Structure 1
């Protein structure tokens, strides 16, 4: 049976994300990924030149997955910002997995210019998505960047706290914090822009 190359590359990326989320980037060897996925090592080298090539692809898949989930939530809940914001917080197993993998990539990006550039691009896309969300609550033509930066900083800070110590972070508490952060960011921006 012929293997669809695009599907196989995506499957390899998903296995890599799982492994990186559990054990970090060092664990993401071709041999380990092949064993986790039930493939031969040769089937991995058929699609990726080296580990860097695999990691770049995996980060791109991870980013696109996050963007897609945010956009879907944004489209479904037009008047409620919380569902879209929840896609950016580690409140459920899928998001914890994504956040743990992201953190491993962020750590590597400090020393790897190629990963740093990918991370910067991904962050820029995330900020644009947040701007779409925030702009719904602002007057037409308003520059929402300050509100977006405040909201992004809050989400990242809360996410890091949740990953380190998840106790005390109920879904209700997370929802309340995200909603209040959205309102606060909008309110501070409105106050600052009226001066």
Structure 2
């Protein structure tokens, strides 16, 4: 005959399972809400500029109550930092992949030609002029990106026997990134004069510095 617990607890083994899974579900819901707020902020910044990303607009875009913004992020700076970190993680993964790409130089050109990423970075640059927390985070991210881009360019130039003193990898990586981003920024405001010619010129130069294809083995 089953005994009854003195504390009034149930002898049903499933009761313990429910107690364990409930916090897990709550944690999962918390993560989903945080992600929605971060994604909503990024969309507003890309589409309308960082000034549009107020707690009220972010909440409306994410489909939650405004109070939840400050529940998950004590200040808007905290939210902006998380948006920057989320974008940085994705961008750094793409940058690292460029190190093993068949054509690292072209890979970097394509990455920096992504208008969505460039527009968000531009907003963070503007925001960093007014927020110290953003400035420090952006500086750390930019330095990591430059290190990875320089490494990718170094791999490509060495493989092609290019003189690294004549063509410093960090200088080449900066020319690639800054030129591509400049084209994106100008295009965003409708300035396209000379873009086709500059892209064609850049692509010709990159092809000259690219890793040469492996020689095909002769079959006997």
Tell me whether the two structures share a fold, i.e. TM-score over 0.5: yes
Greater C-alpha radius of gyration: 2
The CA distance in 2 between the partners of 1:27 and 1:74, in whole Å, is 36
TM-score (norm 1): 0.74
Structure 1 gap ranges (5+):
90-94, 187-195
The 5 A counterparts of 1:158-169 are 158-165=180-187, 167=192, 169=195
Tell me: CA distance 1:19–1:152, structure 2 relative to 1, closer, same or farther (3 Å): same
The CA distance in 1 between the partners of 2:127 and 2:33, in whole Å, is 25
| Partner in structure 1 of residue 170 of structure 2 | 148
Structure 2 gap ranges (5+):
1-24, 212-220
The 5 A counterparts of 1:129-140 are 129-139=148-158
Q: Quote how far apart the aligned CAs of 1:46 are.
A: 1.8
TM-score (norm 2): 0.67
Tell me: CA distance 1:80–1:98, structure 2 relative to 1, closer, same or farther (3 Å): closer
Do structure 1's residue 48 and structure 2's residue 73 form an aligned pair? yes
Do structure 1's residue 123 and structure 2's residue 142 form an aligned pair? yes
Residue of 113, 131, 137 corresponding to 1:112: 131
Q: Quote how far apart the aligned CAs of 1:24 are.
A: 1.2
Tell me: CA distance 1:41–1:182, structure 2 relative to 1, closer, same or farther (3 Å): farther
Tell me: CA distance 1:107–1:182, structure 2 relative to 1, closer, same or farther (3 Å): farther
The answer on whether the counterparts of 1:12 and 1:33 sit within 8 Å (CA) in structure 2 is: yes
CA deviations over 1:109-166 (Å, ceiling 9, x no partner)? 12322212111111111111112211213449x7899322333144223322332236
Question: Greater relative contact order: 1 or 2 (C-alpha under 8 angstroms, separation 6 or more)?
Answer: 1
The answer on whether the counterparts of 2:150 and 2:173 sit within 8 Å (CA) in structure 1 is: no
| Partner in structure 1 of residue 97 of structure 2 | 72
The answer on whether the counterparts of 1:63 and 1:122 sit within 8 Å (CA) in structure 2 is: yes
The CA distance in 1 between the partners of 2:73 and 2:170, in whole Å, is 36
Instruction: Give the alignment's Cα RMSD to 1 decimal.
Output: 3.2
The CA distance in 2 between the partners of 1:15 and 1:69, in whole Å, is 22
Tell me: CA distance 1:6–1:152, structure 2 relative to 1, closer, same or farther (3 Å): farther
The answer on whether the counterparts of 2:41 and 2:53 sit within 8 Å (CA) in structure 1 is: yes
Tell me: CA distance 1:71–1:139, structure 2 relative to 1, closer, same or farther (3 Å): closer
The CA distance in 1 between the partners of 2:112 and 2:67, in whole Å, is 35
Between the two proteins, the alignment pairs up a number of residues equal to 178
Tell me: CA distance 1:138–1:47, structure 2 relative to 1, closer, same or farther (3 Å): same
